[in-house]
Amino acid sequence: MERLKKRFSLLSAIIDALIEPPETVGYPFTKLELPETYRGAIVIDPEKCTGCGLCVRDCPAQGLELVKKSRHEFKLIHYPARCAYCGQCSISCRRKAISHSNQLVGSTSNPEALVVVLKEKEDEEQG
């Protein structure tokens, strides 16, 4: 009897599965709920970023590039197609300027189209 009970213990789960709605989400037609902490698209707070390059140094996937034109002019570029969404840049940044949002990055057949300039700083003196 005990054995029989054990054998049919999945039965209730199977009946539940018949009644319950599917566990899958019909993305992109249904909204995908991602946890707050999800490591999605990279965002930057341009006020805080000083162009120190710590994030670039520790990025394992060459997802960031710092182009220095002069002492005060720099450009921080992010390549989403190379990025591993690992979160290292946000940990390496001492000023907490760079971080992840919990948004997905769209897929594309043209990776160049995704490239974003996170911050571009021109020399103020030159105007």
Contacts to another protein by CB under 8 A? 3, 6-7, 9-10, 12-14, 23, 35, 37-39, 57-61, 84-88, 91-92, 100
Tell me how crowded residue 2 is: count the other CB atoms within 10 A of its CB.
6
- The residues, any chain, with a CB within 8 Å of residue 119's CB and separated by 6 or more, are 44, 46, 49, 51, 74, 75, 76
53 binds, among another protein, ligand SF4, none (CB under 5 to 8 A by kind): ligand SF4
Q: Does 103 bind ligand SF4 (CB under 6 A)?
A: no
Q: Does 114 bind ligand SF4 (CB under 6 A)?
A: no
Q: Number of C-alpha atoms within 13 angstroms, CB side, residue 100? A: 21
- The residues, any chain, with a CB within 8 Å of residue 53's CB and separated by 6 or more, are 66
**C-beta of 10: minimal distance to another protein in Å?**
5
**C-beta of 46: minimal distance to another protein in Å?**
23
80 binds, among another protein, ligand SF4, none (CB under 5 to 8 A by kind): none
Do the Cβ atoms of 38 and 76 come closer than 8 Å? Answer: no
**DSSP line for 26-37:** -TTTS-----TT
35 binds, among ligand SF4, another protein, none (CB under 5 to 8 A by kind): another protein
Binding-site ranges for ligand SF4 (CB under 6 A): 42, 49-55, 59-61, 63-64, 76, 83-89, 92-93, 95, 97-98
